[in-house]
Structure 1
Amino acid sequence: MLLWIKALHVVFMVTWFAGLFYLPRLFVYHTQVAATGPEHERMCTMERKLYAIMTVGMVLTWAFGIWLLTLLPGYMAQGWMHAKLALVVALSGYHGWLKLHLRRFAAGTNTRNHVFWRWANEAPVLALFGAVILVIVKPF
């Protein structure tokens, strides 16, 4: 059972990260189309649907992760787990921050340019590297 829970945790983590990688990329494209009209509406629809899918991924990543920790409580005594959880909390905050900007795009009040969103797109890459290294290498 433990391996199934772990596998599902990883599957939903991948789903969540796919959205974390792609939503800022959609914002890059959105900044390059008109703020109103059919292109704007199409981008808003794509962003909203992606956000819904990635939110499911985040919630299920958390759920299966918490389930794993209930089955393996000794992990909570290890430094690498604390660092990983800090990254997951930060990513959850980043997820919420993307929602704020999704709403701004929908309202036509985005003030950020495509360069900003290209840089914002790199944050989850760093978190992914950190989380994978922490879980596999367990440096603490």
Structure 2
Amino acid sequence: MLDTLYPWIKALHIMAVISWMAGLFYLPRLFVYHVERGTSPEMVETFKVMEHKLLRVIMNPAMIVAWVTGLTMAAMPWVLDLGAIWPYSKFIGLIGMTWFHIWCAKRRRIFEADGNSLTGRQYRMMNEVPTVMMVIIVISVVVKI
């Protein structure tokens, strides 16, 4: 039964990861605009709504689906080679990606309370974190060292 469901679970996993990554790339960019262009109360409120909806409607569900489908596939005995390095490097990348998601959620709450203290440049630099995690994960899964 699991072998017939595996391609569907994997497809759902890939779609969830793409959606999650899109949000992880876009939310810090919204933070940059919020800091640099949020000059009027109307713009600030617009950014707050955009950030909230991106996190709650797209990123959180996508992260949950990515984790659930990933763990489901990991539980299938033929998927992981625990004697190889790649499952562990992928897991480290995944933990980094999840940490970044949580960091973004905390920063969004700080913006919501009008308490941001970081600059647009700092958010631009943090925007590179998901790229590094993605590189680690993709190389781990594709090259399978």
Post-superposition offset of 1:35: 6.2
Match of 1:5 among 2, 9, 22: 9
* Residues 18-37 of structure 1: pairs in structure 2 closer than 5 A: 18-34=22-38, 37=41
Please report the TM-score for the alignment, with normalisation by the length of structure 2: 0.91
- Work out the percentage of aligned pairs sharing the same amino acid: 34
Q: Does structure 1 retain, via aligned residues, the 8 Å contact 2:73–2:79? A: no
Structure 1 counterpart SS, 2:80? helix
Segments of 5+ residues of structure 2 without an aligned counterpart are none
> How big is the shift at 1:70?
1.3
The CA deviation at 1:74 is: 5.7
Work out whether 1:64 is the aligned partner of 2:69: yes
* Aligned equivalent of 2:60, options 55, 65, 70: 55
Q: CA RMSD of the aligned region, Å?
A: 1.4
2:80 aligned residue (60, 75, 78): 75
Q: How many residues get paired?
A: 139
What is the aligned counterpart of 1:45 among 45, 49, 55? Answer: 49
Q: Give structure 1 regions of 4+ aligned residues with deviation exceeding 2 angstroms.
A: 33-36
3-state DSSP class of the match of 1:71?
coil
SS at match of 2:117: coil
CA displacement at 1:71 relative to structure 2: 1.4
- TM-score, with length taken from structure 1: 0.94
Quick check: 2:34–2:47 contact (8 Å CA) kept in 1?
A: yes
8 Å CA contact retained: 1:76, 1:82: no
Gaps of 5+ in 1: none
SS of aligned partner of 2:28: helix
Rounded Cα–Cα distance in structure 1 between residues aligned with 2:85 and 2:23? 28
